[in-house]
Amino acid sequence: MERKINTREKECEEKHSNSEGSEQDKEYKTSLITLNVGGYLYITQKQTLTKYPDSFLEGIINGKIMCPFDADGHYFIDRDGLLFRHILNFLRNGELLLPEGFRENQLLAQEADFFQLKVLSDAVKSRWEKEQLASRETTFLEITDSHDRSQGLRIFCNAPDFIAKIKSRIVLVSKSRLDGFPEEFSVSSNIIQFKYFIKSENGTRLVLKEDNTFVCTLETLKFEAIMTALKCGFRLLTSLDCSKGSIVHSDALHFIK
């Protein structure tokens, strides 16, 4: 008799446990929301979408805003599906985190406005303004002789990445110690100083091209810098010192996009 009672108690406990488990599973499943944004499916939690009260997504989830469904019963939002990943990441992280080289600030700001996320919209616009300001600031690279600063070249450009490209190339080639290139040099943020800079003499060689073809003399280095800039979409605004009668004989070059 006692065994039967114990068996029944055990069965009741198992049923109760299974019942609690199924309720928890059901509750967990209902907390997951699938959104179809411009043909891209995103699955996230209800609490993520309702993080900001009075936002478009919070309005949809809590029934304040009517939203159509797709054929599979998912909420359908006719917006940029690729950019929505950044909207969702902002809701998850509480801050704006974008991949390096992101250039769609204006589009993302529009998406943030549509989803009524003012905090995100302000963050995107602030980032955009900083990038615009940075792009207008002139960056320079100076290649010079540590003993004779008159021997060298200054390159000015409103795009820091272009300056960095030329700088890294010169440093890379210098470290390889190719024939004719000075081995002893120091590098700071904007200056490459050679202990003994190669003068414009026959037989001296510099290397800049990406295919490792030789570039001869400082004048040719200037010419190569001009050609690289033009290929990258920059224009030569002016030679900062045209007194010598030729661009490749000037001491400085100024590029702008």
Label residues 65-97 b or e (16+ Cβ within 10 Å = b).
Answer: eeeeeeeeebbbbebbbebbebbbebbeeeebe
Structure tokens belonging to residue 73? 């019963």
Q: What pLDDT sits at residue 163?
A: 81
Is the separation of the CB atoms in 253 and 222 below 8 Å? yes
Contact 56, 114 (CB under 8 A): yes
Boundary residue ending a domain (101, 134, 167)? 134
Same domain, 43 and 63: yes
pLDDT level of residue 191 (50, 70, 90 thresholds): confident
The average confidence (pLDDT) of the chain is 75
Domain assignment of residue 59, given as a range: 23-134
Rounded to whole angstroms, how far apart are CA atoms 69 and 76?
5
- Per-residue confidence (pLDDT) for residue 149, from 0 to 100: 60
Q: What is the pLDDT of residue 82?
A: 96
H helix intervals, the chain: 2-30, 46-49, 56-61, 84-93, 105-114, 118-136, 160-175, 217-231
Residue 17 has pLDDT above 60, yes or no: no
Does residue 235 belong to any structural domain of this protein?
yes
Q: Among 134, 167, 189, identify where a domain stops.
A: 134
Q: What is the pLDDT, as a whole number, of residue 205?
A: 53
Q: Are strands 152-157 and 252-256 parallel, antiparallel or unpaired?
A: parallel
Instruction: Residue 227: count other Cβ atoms within 10 Å of its Cβ.
Output: 12
Please indicate, yes or no, whether residues 116 and 151 belong to a single structural domain of this protein: no
Residues 6 or more apart whose CB falls under 8 angstroms from that of 84 comprise 35, 37, 38, 40, 42, 77, 111
28 and 122 within one domain:
yes
Residue 10 lies in a domain: no
Is position 190 within any domain? yes
Residues 63 and 167 occupy one common structural domain: no
**Given strand 32-37, what is the order of strands in its sheet?**
40-45, 32-37, 75-77
Rounded to whole angstroms, the Cα distance separating 221 from 205 reads 9
Position 221 pLDDT exceeds 50: yes
Boundary of a domain, candidates 92, 107, 134: 134
* Number of domains observed in the structure of the chain: 2
Residue 3 included in any domain: no
pLDDT value at residue 123? 94
Q: What pLDDT, in 10s, does the model give residues 53-68?
A: 999 999 999 999 999 9
Which range scores top for mean pLDDT: 20-34, 83-97, 177-191? Answer: 83-97
Query: Is residue 61 located within the same domain as residue 153?
Result: no
pLDDT of residue 184: 59
What sign for the dihedral angle of Cα 194, 200, 205, 211? positive
- 109: confidence class by pLDDT, cuts 50, 70, 90: very high
Question: How far apart (Å, rounded) are the C-alpha atoms in residues 87 and 82?
Answer: 10
* Percent residues over pLDDT 90 in the chain: 35
Mean pLDDT for the stretch of residues 99-111: 90
Is the same domain home to 160 and 240? yes
Q: Does the pLDDT of residue 231 top 80, yes or no?
A: yes
Clarify whether residues 173 and 126 are in a common domain: no
Taking the C-alpha atoms of residue 244 and residue 250, their distance in angstroms, rounded to an integer, is 6
Is residue 203 scored above 50 in pLDDT? no
pTM of the model: 0.49
On whether residue 130 sits in a domain, the answer given is: yes
